[in-house]
Chains A and B, each alone.
Chain A
Amino acid sequence: MSSIAFRRRAQLAILLGPVSLFLAVFFLGPLAIMIVTSFLAPGLYGGVEWTWYPHNYGRILGFADPMFEDFDPVYIAIFLRSLKIAALTVVATLFVCYPAAFCISRLSDRWKNFCLFLITLPFFTSLIVRLFIWVLILRQTGLVNEVLLGTGVIARPLELIYTDGAIILGMVYVFIPFMFMPVYASVEKLDWTLVRASLDLGAGPIRTFLRIILPLTAPGIAGGAVIVFIPALGNFVVPAILGGAKVMMLGNLIEQQFLAARNWPFGSALAMMVMTVMLVLLFIHVVVSGRRGFDPATGH
């Protein structure tokens, strides 16, 4: 090996060393513990018993140990509902962020920066506090109901809070910045002379959008979708506050297993299932964008 190549490798090792070490200890370590735990039997009073016990997965997928824990389709139902809510969150945030990204990308630099600042502003206060404000707005005696009752639009308070709708609203509220940033990055980079070229060649606005604008901003949309979908699927704060005890999502279920039911192996098994779903989705994303020949440097 030439000394230059050696030095380059040494530099790389030094630069990547800290992050690799950190991830190895604090990411791969816990992950390994979780994988192992998910195949162990739960102890009677919390903790684990060191015996091979695949039935944690059985409770979810349908091959339970009938002596101890029953298979319960409720877990699959929660799984599907979580997927649905996460998917709806992605769609809703996209509908909010995509047009906004176009507007903001056309502003002068000063206004642009101001708008980007506004979008990151919510991060400055606690998520919990912000979500409790939604409780005040949505509850039976909340702002919306009071106004509607007061103006006589409705006779009885609407059931707004503790519904799927409330959770999606809260999710959208929380995840808008996550969707906005990647979408904005790709919209901002869009070369408007391409749009002109399309119009010039006879394509109307709708066709130009579908054939030129949408494909060229698709990487940002896909990136935003992944960034929103994954944490939305595992989120437990929003359903805990806006879903009450009525609407359970995967995040709450897992949290409950660890903190309330003290069934770590089952909680681990649930978490592993979530991770599997996410890895599959990420894999699809990589394959699809790879086939398109997506170049992150140019966005093409």
Chain B
Amino acid sequence: MRDSIVRLEKAAKAFATPEGQTVTALDAIDLDVKRNEFLTLLGPSGCGKTTLLQAISGFVQLDAGRILIDDEDITDRPPYRRPVNTVFQNYALFPHMTVGENTGYALEVAGVARAERTRRVADALRMVGLEGMEGRKPRQLSGGQQQRVALARAIIARPKLLLLDEPLSALDKNLRQSMQIELKTLQHELGISFIFVTHDQEEALTMSDRVAVLSGGRIQQLDTPRAIYDQPKNSFVATFVGASNLFEGEATRGQLVTKDGIAISHGRPDATGAATALIRPEQFFLAQPGDTAPSLDVDLEQIVFVGSTFELFGRTATGRRVIAEIPAVRRSLVGEIEQSRRARLAYDPAAVHLLPGEAA
């Protein structure tokens, strides 16, 4: 019990659309967030991840179910009586207050004396790398700096849980990547649980201890980033997290045969019946003459150079799309296939992951 900081029990929420339909945002969700854990809610827009976050922060009332923080039922508490703080997507800094006033707001509200407040504001700003910026107004700061103020403001009262609602989506790529690492470090230093919402799968994999992939108001899979990527439970998770090649068909004795007659070797001799094979693009390599690894022959439609890799977009003889990623160090091989526009894509059967059932 003491292991979990937040627990959702059968949390359910439905919204009525202006057109009179009902949309299920949360479909009886059970979720346990562990103490000191970095958990990411990942999913496309409309999957319910923001609703879930707002249910925890108190801005969405559940239709049914309970939310417990530290074994305390907070389902019916208003947002200002929950030991939870949020970093908002657009930062939501108070424009009429200075950085210092913004950062110290939670303490001011809690009645912390001015001297202690000043000290803790300075500490919080130091943690996010904005030492001595107390006197500035939010509009005098860059986007990245505003982001840091929002972060300092949310952690200053030492909440039991920090919620982050796509906080990095407005930053440019380089800044976003460095902030990802910083957030992770900060979470370790603070020792509080983070729930991070994003639709960016790379971000989710980079930062999280565990990732919950959401779709249609349900948690499709809750696992470590590696498990999510390597052993997705269904085709939604497989296609949403990372690029994927899916082959649905009948599995028999180490082979899976699709309807259009493509045979995929896999390392699971026990698997039988309807199944879907997943091969990640980077698991393909260009077969050399004499290679014994199983392979697929494709006609290449596009070869895209993206820096560290080449992305090959091909089609099998039956018209099925295949994506492969070849490390750019194998440049000479790519030169050959660029001439012939044909490639033999080999793979290691042990790396093929089998999903149960048909792909959607």
Interface status of A194 (Cβ within 8 A of chain B): yes
Interface status of B59 (Cβ within 8 A of chain A): yes
Q: Known contacts A193-B88, A207-B109, A300-B139: does B80 contact A200 (CB below 8 Å)?
A: yes
Query: Which of A207, A208, A300 counts the most B-chain CB atoms under 10 A from its CB?
Result: A300
Q: B92: which of A191, A207, A215, A298 is its contact (CB, 8 Å)? A: A191
Interface status of B328 (Cβ within 8 A of chain A): no
Q: Which residues of B come within 8 Å of A, CB atoms?
A: 57-59, 78-81, 84-86, 88, 90, 92-96, 105-106, 109-110, 137, 139, 153-154, 157
Q: A196: which of B92, B105, B109, B137 is its contact (CB, 8 Å)? A: B92
Inter-chain contact B80/A199, CB cutoff 8 Å: yes
Contacts of A202 in B (CB 8 A): 80-81, 106, 109-110, 157
Contacts of A215 in B (CB 8 A): 96
Q: Known contacts A202-B110, A203-B80, A204-B80: does B95 contact A196 (CB below 8 Å)?
A: no
Q: Known contacts A202-B106, A203-B109, A298-B95: does B157 contact A197 (CB below 8 Å)?
A: no
Residues 209-224 of A contacting B (Cβ, < 8 Å): 211-212, 215-216
Contacts of B96 in A (CB 8 A): 215-216, 292, 300
Q: Taking the nearest CB of chain A, how far is it from the CB of B137, in angstroms?
A: 8
Contacts of B105 in A (CB 8 A): 198, 201, 203, 211
Inter-chain contact A216/B95, CB cutoff 8 Å: yes
Query: Which of B58, B84, B105 counts the most A-chain CB atoms under 10 A from its CB?
Result: B105
**CA distance in complex: A81, B102 (Å):** 43
Contacts of B88 in A (CB 8 A): 193, 196-197
Inter-chain contact A194/B80, CB cutoff 8 Å: no
Inter-chain contact A196/B79, CB cutoff 8 Å: yes
Inter-chain contact B95/A300, CB cutoff 8 Å: yes
Inter-chain contact A199/B90, CB cutoff 8 Å: no
Given A197-B92, A201-B157, 11 extra CB contacts under 8 A: A193-B88, A196-B79, A196-B88, A196-B92, A198-B105, A199-B58, A201-B154, A203-B109, A215-B96, A216-B96, A293-B137
Q: Known contacts A199-B80, A201-B109, A202-B106: does B94 contact A212 (CB below 8 Å)?
A: yes
Q: Which residues of A come within 8 Å of B, CB atoms?
A: 191, 193-194, 196-204, 207-208, 211-212, 215-216, 292-293, 298, 300
Inter-chain contact B153/A201, CB cutoff 8 Å: yes
Residue of A nearest to B54 (CB): A196
Residue of B nearest to A108 (CB): B18
Q: Taking the nearest CB of chain A, how far is it from the CB of B265, in angstroms?
A: 53
Query: Which of B78, B93, B96, B154 counts the most A-chain CB atoms under 10 A from its CB?
Result: B96
Q: How many A-B residue pairs have CB under 8 A?
A: 64
Q: Known contacts A201-B153, A203-B109: does B80 contact A193 (CB below 8 Å)?
A: no
Contacts of B80 in A (CB 8 A): 199-204, 208
**CA distance in complex: A67, B95 (Å):** 62
Residue of B nearest to A298 (CB): B95
**CA distance in complex: A203, B110 (Å):** 8
Residue of B nearest to A218 (CB): B96
Contacts of A216 in B (CB 8 A): 95-96
Q: Taking the nearest CB of chain A, how far is it from the CB of B292, in angstroms?
A: 59
Q: Taking the nearest CB of chain A, how far is it from the CB of B20, in angstroms?
A: 15
Q: B90: which of A193, A203, A292 is its contact (CB, 8 Å)? A: A193
Q: Taking the nearest CB of chain B, how far is it from the CB of A292, in angstroms?
A: 8
**CA distance in complex: A143, B119 (Å):** 65
Q: Taking the nearest CB of chain B, how far is it from the CB of A205, in angstroms?
A: 8
Inter-chain contact B59/A196, CB cutoff 8 Å: yes
Can you identify 15 A-B contacts, CB atoms within 8 angstroms? A191-B92, A194-B92, A194-B95, A196-B92, A198-B94, A198-B105, A199-B59, A200-B59, A201-B153, A202-B81, A207-B109, A211-B105, A216-B96, A292-B96, A300-B139
**CA distance in complex: A292, B95 (Å):** 11
Residue of A nearest to B137 (CB): A293
Inter-chain contact A200/B79, CB cutoff 8 Å: yes
Q: Taking the nearest CB of chain B, how far is it from the CB of A223, in angstroms?
A: 16
**CA distance in complex: A95, B314 (Å):** 69
Contacts of A298 in B (CB 8 A): 95
Q: Taking the nearest CB of chain A, how far is it from the CB of B139, in angstroms?
A: 7
Residue of A nearest to B57 (CB): A200
Contacts of A191 in B (CB 8 A): 92
Q: Known contacts A193-B92, A212-B94: does B110 contact A200 (CB below 8 Å)?
A: no
Q: Taking the nearest CB of chain A, how far is it from the CB of B112, in angstroms?
A: 11
Query: Which of A193, A202, A292 counts the most B-chain CB atoms under 10 A from its CB?
Result: A202
Contacts of A199 in B (CB 8 A): 58-59, 78-80
Contacts of B93 in A (CB 8 A): 197
Residue of A nearest to B79 (CB): A199
**CA distance in complex: A196, B79 (Å):** 8
Residue of B nearest to A215 (CB): B96
Q: B85: which of A201, A211, A293 is its contact (CB, 8 Å)? A: A201
